[in-house]
Structure 1
């Protein structure tokens, strides 16, 4: 995997992956042009675990109709301002087995999500699962 970053102007940077995909980063406190690099890391964590959970639930033939993973992170007070604690909230919709969802989230956190595994070296990561449409089957 190869990537690079080009400084554009002010505090705007463009990150480019080997395949040409790009993301604009904005280090200014207003973040008008894109996420800060640390916001992007948090977004990557949410996306990485989402990919796992959807894949696992589909393999378990669960009728998933929606998933939103939200993250709330605490950073160290002094530089480097690494994440020290992250709470993930999985809002899951569909006709689902509670056990299947719990297993999928646990497998993602503990085995498959490489972003989570990297961040766990610096931050404690906890999670909760919520069911906006009501409780699933046991």
Structure 2
């Protein structure tokens, strides 16, 4: 099954892209490149897609394992190449879990399953970037 989206130029450097399951999203260049900063940068959107894909996996696996946590966030940092076309050649994903009596073994297992088996966006990134992951447990 193929995904299909339509991206429509709105004005200046602003584009609107639909989504098969949600309202559209706006993309724009920074003011340095003639944009208006009124939408998400396309490359940053790639990092958000990586976090979203892996995060969905992790939460799903942890729910099946009945692992409790109060909060969960991911910080994704991408380093661009110096030459054009600039692309992410190094990416770091930091997984942060917050709560009481966090089950380190199960959390590590859930993240590993996402990183190594389930997250298709992670696999796509590995085709062109060195991807590192870190897990941080924040006990309350």
Q: Same fold (TM over 0.5)?
A: yes
**1:88-136: CA deviations, max 9, x gaps?**
11110234211111111111011111111101100011111112226xx
1:80 partnered with 2:111: no
1:126 partnered with 2:128: no
Distance in structure 1 (CA, Å) of the matches to 2:114 and 2:21: 26
TM-score (norm 1): 0.90
TM-score (norm 2): 0.89
Match of 1:14 in 2: 16
Contact 1:57 1:64 in 2 (8 A): no
How far 1:20 sits from its partner (Å)?
A: 5.5
How many equivalent residue pairs?
134
Give runs of aligned pairs for residues 24-63 of structure 1, distance below 5 A.
Answer: 24-29=26-31, 32-63=37-68
Match of 1:64 in 2: 69
CA RMSD of aligned residues (A): 1.5
Distance in structure 2 (CA, Å) of the matches to 1:2 and 1:76: 29
Segments ≥4 residues shifted beyond 6 Å: none
Describe the shift of the 1:107–1:19 C-alpha distance in structure 2 as closer, same or farther (beyond 3 A).
closer
Structure 2 SS opposite 1:81: coil
**1:6-30: CA deviations, max 9, x gaps?**
0111111111123462110012246
Distance in structure 2 (CA, Å) of the matches to 1:64 and 1:56: 13
Which residues of structure 1 form unaligned runs of 5+? none
Contact 2:75 2:94 in 1 (8 A): yes
Which residues of structure 2 form unaligned runs of 5+? none
Distance in structure 2 (CA, Å) of the matches to 1:60 and 1:20: 29
